[in-house]
Amino acid sequence: EATGALNEKLTLAIENGTVALRHAVLESAPGGGVIRYRPQSVGPALANANEVAELFLKLVDDFKYDSVRVTLNADPSGGIASRFEIKGRNAAVYDGFPIELNISMSGPLRDILNQSIKTYTLPERLLTQIQTPGGTQGVPSGN
């Protein structure tokens, strides 16, 4: 769950006849908002989390952000590099002391999206359609 608004700047490039996303930026509008991430269950990576990951989950349980900035670069082969910069606080963590979260990820876009979908609770029918090679009922396969 999240509140607030984002402004975006997207740059598309054509490389070897394929479209690539370059230097995309999403930034929160003035006024901030709230991020509430309360998963019913966590994936294997978070289940064996260290204290930094545990702190992250506590923070995003009710995180009031002042600003969010997301940058993305994707190439035609499906690779993506992203950076999330979120400034704000959770009143229940460190007595509401301001925190800056910086998260960088890179890897195959399809794999990142599939993992994100698996950690989000989806109706079983929809999850089956997404995971079916070649896609069904208009669901893109990425092949």
Q: What is the mean pLDDT of residues 56-79?
A: 86
Q: 113 lies in a domain?
A: no
Exposed, middle or buried, 44 (CB in 10 Å: 0-12/13-18/19+)?
A: exposed
The helix or strand, by DSSP H or E, that contains position 125, with its residue range, turns out to be: helix 124-131
Residues 86-98: tens digit of each pLDDT? 999 999 999 999 9
Cβ partners under 8 Å of residue 47, min gap 6 = none
Residues 33-46: tens digit of each pLDDT? 998 988 776 666 66
Q: 59 lies in a domain?
A: yes
Q: 53 lies in a domain?
A: yes
Q: 126 lies in a domain?
A: no
Q: 70 lies in a domain?
A: yes
Q: 88 lies in a domain?
A: yes
As a whole number of angstroms, the distance between CA 70 and CA 85 comes to 6
pTM of the model: 0.63
pLDDT at 100: 92
Q: 84 lies in a domain?
A: yes
Q: 96 lies in a domain?
A: yes
State the total domains in the chain: 1
Q: What is the domain range of residue 82?
A: 6-108
pLDDT at 13: 77
Q: What is the mean pLDDT of residues 105-134?
A: 60
